[in-house]
Amino acid sequence: MRKVEVVPYDPIWETKFKEEASKLERLFEGEIVAIHHIGSTSVPGLDAKPIIDIMPVVREIERIDEWVGHMEALGYRSFGEHGIPRRRFFAKGEDVRTIHVHMFEEGDEGVTRHLAFRDYLMTFPDVRDEYAALKQQLASQHPEDIESYIQGKQDWVSATEQEATLWYMSRQQI
């Protein structure tokens, strides 16, 4: 059973991202176009579950399936698309997860969605703080039920992702 633990922002998360990103860049050399720190641990000042979310952007998503064994050798478990078409999802750690890898192909809307949400929370501290409060409330309500925690955030995240994507796309036009 995965516990729900939301903790204050820790600057060490950026270091952990860089360490793991460099391993992935070496493994997928030539296939990775960019690699981003996403999710709550990428937003300074945001309370988060201490799980580093990494988003490698790759040339061809189908080719990633050839590397599953190599990812397993690094301690990852493959979940395939895991509910999001044209994504490859990997997790490190069973009961206590430490890293999630969300791979998307260059140009996929998932890339834009994740970067927009991250940048929006970084730019608007009031929205970031509202999200932190929601996460803390849900973690205290569902300390041993990750699914209820995730579902409790879903409406807020979906609405904010839509706002963030519109904001992000308008900035890309400049």
Could you state, in order of their start, the residue ranges of all structural domains in the chain? 12-172
In sequence order, which ranges of the chain are alpha helices (DSSP H)? 12-27, 68-73, 109-123, 125-141, 146-172
Task: Please compute the mean of the pLDDT values over residues 78-101 and round it to a whole number.
Answer: 93
What pTM value is reported for the model? 0.94
Residue with tokens 């509202």: 130
Task: Please compute the mean of the pLDDT values over residues 133-150 and round it to a whole number.
Answer: 96
Secondary structure class of 150 (helix, strand, coil): helix
- Residue 48 is classified by DSSP as B
Q: What is the pLDDT of residue 138?
A: 97
Q: What is the pLDDT of residue 1?
A: 63
Task: Please compute the mean of the pLDDT values over residues 145-150 and round it to a whole number.
Answer: 94
Q: What is the pLDDT of residues 16-68, one digit of tens each?
A: 999 999 999 999 999 999 999 999 999 999 999 999 999 999 999 999 999 99
Does the structural domain 12-172 have CATH classification 3.30.460.10? yes
Q: What is the pLDDT of residue 174?
A: 60
Question: pLDDT grade, residue 139 (50/70/90)?
Answer: very high
Q: Are 56 and 32 in contact (CB under 8 A)?
A: yes
Q: What is the pLDDT of residue 20?
A: 97
Q: Are 104 and 57 in contact (CB under 8 A)?
A: yes
Percent of the chain predicted with pLDDT > 90: 94
Question: pLDDT grade, residue 95 (50/70/90)?
Answer: confident
Q: Both tokens of residue 171?
A: 């900035």
Q: What is the pLDDT of residue 172?
A: 84
Task: Please compute the mean of the pLDDT values over residues 147-168 and round it to a whole number.
Answer: 97
As a whole number of angstroms, the distance between CA 69 and CA 110 comes to 24
Q: Both tokens of residue 24?
A: 């992935």
Strand (E) or helix (H) holding 76? strand 76-78
110 pLDDT higher than 90: yes
User: What is the sign of the dihedral through the CA atoms of 101, 119, 15 and 10?
Assistant: negative
